[in-house]
């Protein structure tokens, strides 16, 4: 391998982009992360890191406990609006089966911990990547603050509306609207909310989720089947109208929300898979590569997997070998992520059913599903992360081989 330090430019400082930057940095790359936002933000929502994402973090030697500790809810499950449980899962059982329980934390805490694992000057806020010229095999990254030259690799982690995806795949059909919108917010910790369990409640064309975070705060999310662009004038009134008569503690939690801190986004996924996740020295990851609806809680987890695989495929490469490594990354990740994208879309359609008979049949099917069948369904998600054979990994500061 050449003694010349390789340079990677990452477009986007979301979870996937920052994880990729950390992975490459720990394998000797110089990284520059360009983020269009003016700086880190405390706004956002929670994220649940499933066991597959936690294992991916382990492979790059990133200690997630520094961001959030190991506190997790005691149980997870599905409920009806009247409070009746449709299914429940004990996180101790999940830990025994999958090597660790899910971990819920605020996205900003995770992003901050990842950024702190990089050199102080690595992340450039207020710099948006507008295009990449890879015509001659030496990428020129164009930003609204000027061109960046000398990149051996560009990672497009520029989100669901990825400009770089549109640039290089102009014939792709783009995004598909799921028919739903989502509201998200995080409440401060309160003694009255101690012991609140992670649960998602399914109604008729509406859902509500409650997720205690590792730092004591509570992440709330809600979805409803409405046309794209629907924006209520009074968010609190809209949420109370839809969910205010549902089971405890939902009404009390809604009374605590700050309307100004509620995020609303229509839910989209990719209408079709990308033909590949690479072009020359440019690679796509996360939502830019395989945007999916949040119904399986795997969007961020798959971005972390992408970053871990990409980092390890590039770990021992010379600059000349980057295109071949990116082709291997594309081959390793495309089938898994697309299968999860399709599965998430199907799960969303079931959860969003609104006809009374269809809802009754759905709820009965969920209640009748044996625990072992539910565990098998989770296994396809949680056990599916692997690194390509022969790649170097970093764990607890010790290089190993898979």
pLDDT, tens digit (0-9, with 9 covering 90-100), for 89-101: 877 787 888 887 8
Output the pLDDT for position 397.
34
Q: Alpha-carbon distance 265 to 114, whole Å?
A: 25
Q: How confident is the model at residue 2 (pLDDT cuts 50, 70, 90)?
A: low
Share of the chain above pLDDT 90, in %: 77
CA gyration radius, the chain:
21
What pLDDT, in 10s, does the model give residues 174-188?
999 999 999 999 999
Q: Alpha-carbon distance 395 to 54, whole Å?
A: 12
Output the pLDDT for position 192.
53
Please answer whether residues 214 and 71 qualify as being in contact, where contact means their C-beta atoms are separated by less than 8 angstroms.
Answer: yes
Output the pLDDT for position 101.
82
Helix/strand/coil (H, E, C) string of 14-67?
CHHHHHHHHHHHCCCCEEEEEECCCCCCCCCCEEEECHHHHHHHHHCCCCCHHH
What pLDDT, in 10s, does the model give residues 23-67?
999 999 999 999 999 999 877 789 999 999 999 999 999 998 776
Interhelix angle 15-25/299-313, rounded to 10 degrees, is 20
How do beta strands 140-143 and 129-133 pair? antiparallel
Output the pLDDT for position 137.
75
Residue 78 has pLDDT above 70, yes or no: yes
Burial 104-121 (b: 16+ CB within 10 A, else e): bbbbbbbbebbbebbeee
Closest CA to 56 of 106, 103, 96, 124: 103
Mean of per-residue pLDDT scores for the chain: 91
More confident residue, 390 or 131: 131
Write out the two tokens for 317. Answer: 């490469």
Q: Structure pTM?
A: 0.93
Q: Alpha-carbon distance 98 to 381, whole Å?
A: 10
Share of the chain above pLDDT 70, in %: 92
Residue 172 has pLDDT above 90, yes or no: yes
Average pLDDT rounded to a whole number, residues 187-204: 78
Residue 390 has pLDDT above 80, yes or no: no
* CA distance readout (Å), 77 to 16, 36, 73, 90, 223: 27, 37, 11, 9, 17
Omega within 30 of 0 (cis) for the link into 249:
yes
Output the pLDDT for position 100.
79
Output the pLDDT for position 399.
32
Output the pLDDT for position 196.
66
């Amino acid at each position: 391998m050449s003694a010349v330090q390789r340079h990677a430019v990452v477009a986007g400082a979301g979870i996937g982009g920052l994880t990729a930057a950390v992975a490459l940095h720990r394998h000797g790359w110089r990284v520059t992360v360009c983020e269009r936002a003016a700086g880190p933000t405390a706004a956002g929502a929670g994220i649940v890191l499933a066991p597959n994402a936690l294992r991916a973090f382990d492979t790059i030697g990133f200690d997630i406990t520094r961001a959030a500790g190991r506190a997790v809810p005691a149980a997870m499950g599905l409920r009806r609006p009247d409070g009746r449980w449709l299914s429940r899962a004990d996180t101790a059982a999940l830990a025994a089966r999958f090597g660790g329980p899910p971990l819920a934390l605020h996205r900003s805490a995770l992003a901050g911990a990842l950024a702190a694992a990089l050199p102080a000057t690595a992340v450039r806020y207020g710099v948006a990547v507008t295009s990449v010229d890879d015509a001659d095999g030496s990428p020129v990254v164009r930003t609204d603050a000027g061109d960046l030259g000398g990149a051996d690799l560009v990672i497009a982690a520029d989100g669901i509306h990825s400009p770089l995806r549109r640039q290089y795949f102009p014939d792709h059909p783009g995004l598909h609207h799921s028919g739903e919108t989502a509201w998200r917010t995080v409440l401060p910790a309160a003694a009255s909310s101690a012991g609140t369990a992670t649960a998602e409640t399914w109604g008729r064309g509406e859902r509500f989720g409650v997720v205690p975070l590792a730092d004591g705060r509570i992440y709330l999310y809600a979805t409803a089947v409405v046309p794209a662009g629907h924006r209520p004038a009074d968010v609190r009134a809209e949420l109370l109208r839809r969910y205010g008569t549902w089971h405890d503690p939902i009404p009390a939690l809604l009374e605590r929300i700050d309307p100004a801190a509620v995020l609303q986004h229509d839910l989209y996924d990719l209408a079709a898979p990308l033909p590949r996740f690479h072009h020359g020295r440019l690679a796509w990851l996360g939502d830019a590569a395989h945007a999916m609806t949040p119904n399986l809680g795997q969007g961020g987890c798959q971005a972390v997997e992408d970053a871990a695989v990409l980092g390890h495929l590039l770990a021992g490469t010379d600059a000349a070998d980057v295109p071949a490594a990116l082709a291997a990354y594309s081959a390793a990740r495309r089938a898994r992520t697309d299968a999860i994208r399709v599965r998430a879309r199907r799960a969303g359609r079931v959860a969003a059913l609104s006809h009374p008979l269809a809802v009754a049949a759905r709820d009965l099917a969920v209640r009748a599903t044996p625990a072992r069948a539910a565990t098998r369904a989770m296994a396809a998600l949680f056990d599916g992360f692997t690194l390509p054979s022969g790649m170097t990994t970093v764990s607890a500061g010790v290089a190993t081989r898979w």
